[in-house]
Amino acid sequence: MRPIFPFILLLLVPGASVLAASADVTLEIPRLQVSEYHRPYIAVWIEREDRSVAANLAVWYQQKDAKDANTGKQESGTKWLADLRQWWRRSGRDQDFPIDGVSGATRPAGQHKLHFGSDKPPLAGLAPGSYKLMVEAAREVGGHETVGIPFQWPPAGTQHLEASGSHELGAIRLDLDP
- Write out pLDDT tens, residues 32-70: 988 888 999 999 999 999 999 999 999 999 987 656 566
Specify if 5 maps to a domain.
no
Count of structural domains, the chain: 1
Q: Domain residues for 55?
A: 20-177
For the stretch 68-117, pLDDT in tens is 566 665 567 888 899 999 999 999 999 988 888 898 999 999 999 999 99
Q: Report d(CA 42, CA 146) in Å as an integer.
A: 10
pLDDT over 60 (residue 137)? yes
Q: Report d(CA 55, CA 41) in Å as an integer.
A: 18
Contact between 24 and 115 under an 8 Å Cβ cutoff? The reply is yes
Q: Given this model, what pLDDT does residue 9 score?
A: 45
Specify if 95 maps to a domain.
yes
Q: Given this model, what pLDDT does residue 64 score?
A: 73
SS3 169: coil
Q: What's the one-letter identity of residue 137?
A: A
The mean predicted confidence, pLDDT, of the chain is: 87
pTM of the model: 0.84
Specify if 89 maps to a domain.
yes
Higher pLDDT, 138 or 67: 138
Specify if 13 maps to a domain.
no
Specify if 98 maps to a domain.
yes
- 162 sits in the region (left: phi over 0; alpha: psi -120 to 50; else beta) called beta
Specify if 3 maps to a domain.
no
Contact between 54 and 48 under an 8 Å Cβ cutoff? The reply is yes
Specify if 103 maps to a domain.
yes
Please tell me the chain's helix, strand, coil percentages from 3-state DSSP, rounded to the nearest 5. 15, 40, 40
Specify if 12 maps to a domain.
no
